[in-house]
Structure 1
Amino acid sequence: MTLFQVYARALRYLAKNKWRVGAVVVANIVLAVITIAEPILFGRIIDAISSGGTVTPVLILWAGFGVFNTVAYVLVSREADRLAHGRRASLLTEAFGRIISMPLAWHHTRGTSNALHTLLRAAESLFGLWLEFMRTHLATAVALVLLIPTAISMDWRLSLVLLVLSILYWIIGVTVMNRTKEGQASVENHYHTVFSHVSDAISNVSVLHSYNRIEAETLALKDYTKDLLAAQYPVLDWWALAGALNRTASTVSMGVILVIGTLLVQRGEIRVGDVVAFIGFANLLIGRLDLLRQFATQIFEARSKLEDFFALEDSVEERAEPADAADLGEVRGEVEFRDVSFGFANTTQGVHNVSFTARAGETVAIVGPTGAGKTTLINLLQRVYDPQEGKILIDGVDIGKVTRKSLRHSIATVFQDAGLLNRSISENIRLGREGASEEEIAKAAEAAAAAEFIETRLNGYETPVGERGNRLSGGERQRIAIARAILKNAPILVLDEATSALDVETEARVKTAIDRLRENRTTFIIAHRLSTVRDANKVIFLENGRVAEMGSYDELSESGGRFASLLKASGILTDDEAKDHTPSEAQPA
């Protein structure tokens, strides 16, 4: 994108407040016109004084312009500040909502810290551009357009000096921007690296402490910041050179105006007041050109940040659900996978031609070695990813044609990682159903065997759980997650290693709660502990992303296949029990 395209798109975000923004911009244009009048009036005052004429009317008019200019500038700046701050807050909220609504696959690809950093840096850049647009950008452009013709009408010879000065500023600015374009883009990449390193380290601080990595990570950050500064310094050097050249051109131009003006006054071709006015014009022009240079620098520095943000916004729009996506509606719970395939880029992992049907109210256990595709299968059901081939149907409806919101309203999930927010216990459980009463939350906690430990806390259900639940034990976190699923009361239940963090005694209590929860619900259980799938109506054994075996627990344990071998390896199935088992009823893939 060109600088103009970047700037134009940045200003589009002000469209929601176009009338207020328009009023502020018009006011600034009026101020710019008044500013041009001031040097002319001052020149008239000097002429009146030198000729012995009446000074008072012109002096009063000049003073009036000055007072009006000051008061108006304060009021306009105040309104511009409020608009820019308000729009920044709105942008953060709007962009945040769009970003977190994106499919989880998008987040996995993009990276959470990258999206966060892009949003925050772009918000600050946009804020600066909006504020300066309303305060100075357009007013500066108007002042420059009016100033040169006004000066020419007074004396074309002195005006040439101002015109040459403007051209020099433009040449210097374009040259520096061309020289630093790649360097500024590199700077933004280094900023992303620094932010990503800090975010990654802080989110895994317990691991860093455990492995004594504090010093090593700090040194690594120091190296990243060195690389950042190595990319930043040459850019700063070029802009410093531009500032020096601009200042030199301004000083020389002022000197030339004085010399030419003096000669013209001595020859009687212009008055002293005209020279004074031109000096005022020169100062005004230099000030406006400096503002224009700062504006160009501001756009240039913001360019990479905003291009990243615009790409982020565009990707959100591309992945947004179609407007005609239907609502899933009431769900009985029959789930069918029909020749479903999905693969990850640059890997052989995924699932291939998976087909099965879970009738409403059935419990389906998905087992298999690590990397077999168990979690991928469940992620496809929840549309974390969309199948590359095949369909997934709920009650005969293709879930690819319904909204994710309505789909996930019908699915309650207990993850292996409890996934608690840094809020109170009560708020974490209430994520299951917004608006749930305290009594309903307490009942869900009791059903999940969580009430006992919650009530021992000083603040009970209002106890903060800490970041990712770090103030609770693993078993406590998991029981809160189960309570959350119980409260949601969805027709489809997904248990992703839901009891893996619990001790034997607590697991038995929670299993009782889960058994009650499974009643009249279609339940999918992902499990490494094969003993937890004994009650499943159907067991699906995945291997290398394919269905290797499928049948009931008893059928597969008697089949002598891979599932039976794992049961034997786990000590669940003894050699004596396995001797008489013959492959028969299990369904092959």
Structure 2
Amino acid sequence: MSTDERDRDAPASKKPSDFRGSSRRLISSMRPDLPLISAVLALAVVSVGFSVVVPALLGRVTDLVASGLQGSGVDFTAIGRILTLAAAMVVLSALLTLIRGRLTARIALATAFRLREQATTKITRLPLGYFDRQPRGEVLSRVTNDIDNISQTLQQAVNRIVTSVLTLVGVLAMMFWISPLLTVVVILSVPASVLITMMIGKRAQPQFVRQWSATGRLNGHIEEMYTGHALVQVFGRQREALDTFDEHNQALYDSSFRAQFVSGVIEPALRFVGNLGYVLVAVIGGLGVISGSMTIGDVQAFIQYSQQFNQPISQIASMANLLQSGVASAERVFALLDAQEQDPDPIDAPTPAKVTGHVAFEDVSFRYEESTPLIEGLSLTVEPGQTVAIVGPTGAGKTTLVNLLMRFYEMTGGRITIDGVDISAMARADLRRDIGMVLQDTWLVGGTIAENIAYGVDHATREQIVEAAMATHVDRFVRTLPDGYDTVMDREGEGVSAGEKQLITIARAFLTEPPILILDEATSSVDTRTEVLIQHAMASLRTGRTSFVIAHRLSTIRDADVILVMESGRIVEQGDHETLLASGGAYARLYAAQFATSEVEPDLV
């Protein structure tokens, strides 16, 4: 793995935060909603303009009352007109704010929608190695929790930031119009407010990054413990699982508390600075009334404006924790979107006209880590229709070999061809369409048994589904279920046994009728009687197909055309069952060891 890859895949808590860069990138992701954003800004200008004018109108009412009490009487008609105008502005401002809120929600949700699409599409382009290094819960947390947090941040913050900035500009203009001197007094508090916000915000941002990183680790642990719940119970590791959960939960609590506490200090600190300015405005304004340079209405309006002036600053400051939390989530999502992808498929990729199943490994080399070779100089030719069994100790490279054939990993040297076409020049979808694969770990989708069998074939008929099920002995247990093939299962396959789930995945592969089959310990979860039945079914279904069978139980691959014995990424022996036994080499030792064990402990085979 390169240094860049390690840096890119490092936990967010260990990377320096780029608040400005991530903020700009998040804003640029909203570009498709530019018309809606323009409408929000226009509505904000009008609604804020109405709300800014209202204090001046109320100040005018105060002046009319004061002058009326000192003169010939109060002009209630003029006061009524002004109050009616002020009330109309308040109502219109509220209505426009409501409309603006709905538009802002659409912008935020549309942005989250696009990010989810991009993240999901990105996941399909990431190499398998990325998921080897990242816990599934961590990846899920970025696609779900972090994007939800971004959406909430945009919904709450965008509206308030726009309103606060426009209010600040409008209020500042009105204050200058009333009294430049008092405006200077109020403005002098701004540098102190900005300095406080920057100092505290700088300390809060790393805490929010740690908070969302801790959330991802906690989700990863919960997902792991949930999927492996039975094994946790069997091996009595509940205490350790709970201790790990408590550790991650405490880390999340600590980082969240520090983030919220540090950012929460901003608003009261700014309120203190604002109150100092309020006192100065009241004293100087009172002196202005006494000297006759200001009216009571002007002072009243200015005091209201000074409060409105501090309010948007306080609002922006109070949103610091929300903004920093959202940007921390954005950094994590962008880290996923920036992860190194697998090499793109070539343009006009060649593909065999009709795959016969001739597979050739030519001097193939592969390593997960640059310094640790796994497969070196492996060569193998498989003729169409042959069944190739691959055996060997754990870590010998058996599964890696078929992963290279599927292009789940890219070779570091050599090449693999199918019917003479280099698979690295083929589109991955074309390659995998011609290969059926059954893994040791069963995977089902939420839906009916029929839908699971037909997962790899579009528009499969019920007759085709039943035929595949009968060939793989799925039909015999499906017909005992109340709803038969329409029995609904969840992703975990509740309601059927592990062996029956494995049979369903085998039926799924057989229904696709691929020219090449890969069976990776496909009968490991099946009882001995069912295994014998499946072996007979496989013998007929493999006719005319090239098959790669990875097996630990050597009794299941006696009829293979070629048996490859792998050790340390190399083929140390190859031949059929009888030939390899007669040679007395590695295969004979494996076979003798396995069946010597079976004589002592027959129940284990």
Structure-2-length-normalised TM-score: 0.89
1:151 corresponds to which residue? 175
Letter in 1 for 2:203: R
Query: Superposition pairs for residues 353-392 of structure 1, below 5 Å?
Result: 353-392=377-416
1:34 corresponds to which residue? 50
Q: 1:45 to 1:395 in 2, by over 3 A?
A: farther
Secondary structure of the 2:583 match is coil
Letter in 2 for 1:448: T
Among 513, 518, 536, the residue aligned to 2:537: 513
Letter in 1 for 2:21: Q
Q: 1:154 to 1:229 in 2, by over 3 A?
A: same
Segments of structure 1 that go 5 or more residues without pairing to the other structure are: 573-589
Deviation at residue 346 of structure 1 after TM alignment:
8.3
Letter in 2 for 1:14: M
Kindly indicate whether residue 40 of structure 2 is the aligned counterpart of residue 16 of structure 1: no
Segments of structure 2 that go 5 or more residues without pairing to the other structure are: 1-16, 69-74, 597-605
User: Are the equivalent residues in 2 in contact too, given 1:341–1:351 (CA < 8 A)?
Assistant: yes
Q: Measure, in 2, the Cα distance between the counterparts of 1:539 and 1:102.
A: 33
1:185 corresponds to which residue? 209
Kindly indicate whether residue 427 of structure 2 is the aligned counterpart of residue 411 of structure 1: no
Q: Measure, in 1, the Cα distance between the counterparts of 2:367 and 2:384.
A: 28
Among 463, 467, 470, the residue aligned to 1:439: 463
2:41 corresponds to which residue? 25
Identity %: 30
Cα deviation 1:243-295 (Å, max 9, x = unaligned): 22112112222222111111111111111121122122122222211221133
1:427 corresponds to which residue? 451
Q: Measure, in 2, the Cα distance between the counterparts of 1:28 and 1:320.
A: 46
Farther off after superposition, 519-528 or 552-561 = 552-561
Farther off after superposition, 476-485 or 419-428 = 419-428
Q: Measure, in 1, the Cα distance between the counterparts of 2:148 and 2:42.
A: 25
Query: Superposition pairs for residues 33-432 of structure 1, below 5 Å?
Result: 33-52=49-68, 54-132=78-156, 134-315=158-339, 318-319=341-342, 321-322=344-345, 324=347, 326=349, 328=351, 330-345=354-369, 348=372, 350-432=374-456
Q: Measure, in 1, the Cα distance between the counterparts of 2:328 and 2:153.
A: 14
Farther off after superposition, 374-383 or 494-503 = 494-503
Q: Measure, in 2, the Cα distance between the counterparts of 1:14 and 1:240.
A: 28
User: Are the equivalent residues in 2 in contact too, given 1:335–1:395 (CA < 8 A)?
Assistant: yes
Secondary structure of the 2:380 match is strand
Q: Measure, in 2, the Cα distance between the counterparts of 1:347 and 1:481.
A: 37
Q: 1:162 to 1:325 in 2, by over 3 A?
A: farther
Query: Superposition pairs for residues 574-585 of structure 1, below 5 Å?
Result: none
User: Are the equivalent residues in 2 in contact too, given 1:7–1:299 (CA < 8 A)?
Assistant: no
Deviation at residue 342 of structure 1 after TM alignment:
1.2
Q: Measure, in 2, the Cα distance between the counterparts of 1:467 and 1:487.
A: 20
Q: Measure, in 1, the Cα distance between the counterparts of 2:552 and 2:323.
A: 55
Among 547, 551, 562, the residue aligned to 2:586: 562
Letter in 2 for 1:167: P
User: Are the equivalent residues in 1 in contact too, given 2:415–2:422 (CA < 8 A)?
Assistant: yes
Secondary structure of the 1:357 match is strand
1:583 corresponds to which residue? none
Q: Measure, in 1, the Cα distance between the counterparts of 2:327 and 2:97.
A: 29
Q: Measure, in 1, the Cα distance between the counterparts of 2:28 and 2:234.
A: 49
Root mean square deviation of aligned Cα: 2.3
Deviation at residue 93 of structure 1 after TM alignment:
4.2
Deviation at residue 92 of structure 1 after TM alignment:
2.6
Secondary structure of the 1:365 match is strand
Cα deviation 1:282-324 (Å, max 9, x = unaligned): 22222211221133332222333221210100116x4362573
Q: 1:484 to 1:90 in 2, by over 3 A?
A: same
Letter in 1 for 2:347: D
Secondary structure of the 1:355 match is strand
Q: Measure, in 2, the Cα distance between the counterparts of 1:155 and 1:289.
A: 21
Deviation at residue 65 of structure 1 after TM alignment:
0.9
Deviation at residue 515 of structure 1 after TM alignment:
1.4
Q: Measure, in 2, the Cα distance between the counterparts of 1:42 and 1:319.
A: 66
Letter in 1 for 2:50: I
Among 530, 554, 559, the residue aligned to 1:530: 554
Q: Measure, in 1, the Cα distance between the counterparts of 2:540 and 2:125.
A: 32
Secondary structure of the 1:315 match is coil
Farther off after superposition, 16-25 or 442-451 = 16-25
Q: 1:237 to 1:106 in 2, by over 3 A?
A: closer
Q: Measure, in 1, the Cα distance between the counterparts of 2:407 and 2:97.
A: 54
Farther off after superposition, 446-455 or 351-360 = 351-360
Aligned pairs, number: 571
